[in-house]
Amino acid sequence: MTTDSSAPESGLSRRKLLGAAGLGALAAGAVGAGAGFAIGDKPVEVVPDPDALPIPFEGKHQAGIVTPAQDRLYFAALDLTTESRGDLILLLKEWTEAARKMTQGNDVGEFGAVAGSPFAPPEDTGEALGLPPSGLTITIGFGRGMFVDGKGKPRFGLDGKLPDRLKDLPLFSGDRLDDALCGGDLAIQACANDPQVAVHAVRNLVRIAFGRASVRYSQMGFGRTSSTSSAQVTARNMLGFKDGTANIKAEDAKDLDDFVWVPKGDGPDWMVNGSYLVTRKIDMRIEIWDREPLEGQEAIIGRTKGSGGPLSGGDEFDKLDFKAKGEDGELAIGKVAHVRLAHPDFNKGAKILRRGYNFVDGSNGLGQLSAGLFFIAYQRDPEKQFVQIQRNLAGKLNDVLNEYIVHVGSGLFACPPGVTTEGYWGEKLFA
């Protein structure tokens, strides 16, 4: 495969071809295959379980960005504990090899989980044995800390390689960031339709990294809150609302070029065809939100809870009319409604590709749900995109939603372009 072929796109076209209905039919077919083999004398044609089709690992861009969002996430941010450039390069090579195998549904290592020496720990941890690839994608990103230390001194001989756009995100009004949930030198985003497969991927990469990198924090996510393809229905967040209706979709080629992929001349060459990843752990005050009347909830968001249609009228995908007024003569979509403040029209045209997941980390000691959104967004220029939009949203006086949410974790990572069949993640950075 050449660098020009695009893995995520080929993965997509498969899904696109099938459409949402097609996927359903496929799933039904797979059930049939497991249950019985023949009806009467006629053998039933067995179709592959969609989860058995691996998503190509190699390509122009990393998979896991415009790939139709899978159901589950396991995300980890790591700190590099080595200072050796050789160690780091070797780590990225070993990670690439392991990811190449795991995304195609294979075990890590030469002998995998069960065929190695009985006296040695198995190379693969084994919990994904017998499971299909499950749409696994593994996407990695480099944090600012990989390029410079706390005093701005270059690390790993990466002088002059730090992209201008990889600067710390500003503090936004209302942020209550916990240092332990922020930053990281490396990020691993593993998405799959089976949480076991996603966890297996991160666990094995973390294991490979022992002695070179150590986990700073990790996060499980479920119920994708964004659709990244028009073939997918819009999912709901923990507030019960459809989230990401107006998201950039894989089919919007122009939007992807304008807002997601880093073009030539947009910073260091090694980032061309890469993207910048912003993560935010957003705690939700679930119980308080649940006590809010429906009308209030809808006014805060600016959409109806049922169909997701804008309060200015119409169905989910209808255009938002920010000038429309209700019977009471007030704006239908209020001045501080979430959809208005987040909309490109009020953010100098800025859009982002969102790929977030819901999370529940059990309950806090007061019997409240420790739940929220692990927000993930990909973009070309964080300052002009995420930061622009978040400035508009942040602060109690702006987005009324802020009474119900609080940002506690934050990360910004430069995700390098995809790899070739022989290449490794970040190869151009170390060339």
Partner 1 sequence: MTSRFSFPAVGVLTLAALTLSACASDGTASGALTVKASDSSCNISSSKLEAGPSTFKVTNGGSKVTEFYVYAEGDRIMGEVENIGPGLSRDLVVDLPKGTYEGACKPGMIGDGIRETLTVSGEAAKKLSDSEELTAAADSYERYVKSQSDALIVKTEEFVAAVKAGNVDEAKTLFPIARTYWERIEPVAEKFGDLDPITDGREPDAIAEGVDFTGWHRIEKQLWVSNNTKGMDKYADQLLANVKKIVKLGQDAPLTALELAQGSKALLDEVATGKITGEEDEFSHTDLWDFKANIEGSQAAIASLRPVLEAQDPELVKDLDAKFKLVDAELNQHQDMTTGDWKFYDELTKDQVKKLSDAVAALSEPISKVAAVVAASA
Find the shortest distance in angstroms from Cβ 228 to partner 1. Answer: 23
Q: Using an 8 Å Cβ cutoff, are 346 and 392 in contact? A: yes
> Between the CA of residue 162 and those of 65, 217, 265, 429, what are the distances in Å?
22, 23, 15, 10
Find the shortest distance in angstroms from Cβ 400 to partner 1. Answer: 37
Find the shortest distance in angstroms from Cβ 418 to partner 1. Answer: 19
Find the shortest distance in angstroms from Cβ 116 to partner 1. Answer: 7
Dist CA 100 CA 372 (whole Å): 31
Find the shortest distance in angstroms from Cβ 56 to partner 1. Answer: 11
Contacts of 220 (CB under 8 A, 6+ apart): 72, 73, 74, 195, 199, 359
Residue with smaller CB distance to partner 1, 78 or 262: 78
x/- binding map, residues 173-212, to partner 1, per CB under 8 A? ----------------------------------x--xxx
Residue with smaller CB distance to partner 1, 37 or 317: 37
Going 384 to 80 to 139 to 189, the CA torsion angle's sign is negative
Report 49-68 residues binding partner 1 (CB under 8 A). 49, 52-54
Find the shortest distance in angstroms from Cβ 211 to partner 1. Answer: 3
Helix (H) or strand (E) holding 195: helix 195-209
Find the shortest distance in angstroms from Cβ 105 to partner 1. Answer: 5
Residue with smaller CB distance to partner 1, 35 or 431: 35
Residue with smaller CB distance to partner 1, 202 or 239: 202
Dist CA 19 CA 50 (whole Å): 12
Q: Does 152 bind partner 1 (CB under 8 A)?
A: no
Q: Which of 16, 93, 100, 101 binds partner 1 (CB under 8 A)?
A: 101
Find the shortest distance in angstroms from Cβ 92 to partner 1. Answer: 17
Find the shortest distance in angstroms from Cβ 132 to partner 1. Answer: 5
- Cross-strand pairs, 372: 283, 359
Q: Using an 8 Å Cβ cutoff, are 429 and 158 in contact? A: yes
Judged by CB under 8 A, the stretch of 115-123, 140-148, 190-198, 392-400 that binds partner 1 is 115-123
Report 337-376 residues binding partner 1 (CB under 8 A). none
Report 73-92 residues binding partner 1 (CB under 8 A). 81
Report 129-148 residues binding partner 1 (CB under 8 A). 130, 132
What is the 3-state composition of the chain as percent helix, strand, coil, each rounded to the nearest 5?
30, 20, 50
Tokens representing 304?
A: 């109806």
x/- binding map, residues 213-232, to partner 1, per CB under 8 A? -x------------------
Q: Which of 111, 191, 118, 183 is nearest to 150 (CA)?
A: 183
Q: Using an 8 Å Cβ cutoff, are 206 and 99 in contact? A: no
Judged by CB under 8 A, the stretch of 101-109, 160-168, 244-252, 361-369 that binds partner 1 is 101-109
Q: Which of 322, 317, 316 is nearest to 344 (CA)?
A: 322
Residue with smaller CB distance to partner 1, 35 or 366: 35
Dist CA 50 CA 152 (whole Å): 47
- Cross-strand pairs, 79: 214
Q: Which of 19, 20, 85, 104 binds partner 1 (CB under 8 A)?
A: 104
x/- binding map, residues 2-41, to partner 1, per CB under 8 A? -------------------------------x---xx---
Residue with smaller CB distance to partner 1, 50 or 141: 50
Tokens representing 300?
A: 């805060």
Going 111 to 74 to 189 to 81, the CA torsion angle's sign is negative
Residue with smaller CB distance to partner 1, 53 or 148: 53
Q: Does 105 bind partner 1 (CB under 8 A)?
A: yes
Q: Which of 48, 157, 170, 349 binds partner 1 (CB under 8 A)?
A: 48
- Cross-strand pairs, 375: 280
Strand 213-224 and strand 357-363: the pairing is antiparallel
Strands (DSSP E) found in 31-154: 38-39, 42-43, 72-80, 137-143
| Residues contributing to the site for partner 1 (CB under 8 A) | 33, 37-38, 43, 45-49, 52-54, 81, 101, 104-107, 110-112, 114-121, 130, 132, 207, 210-212, 214
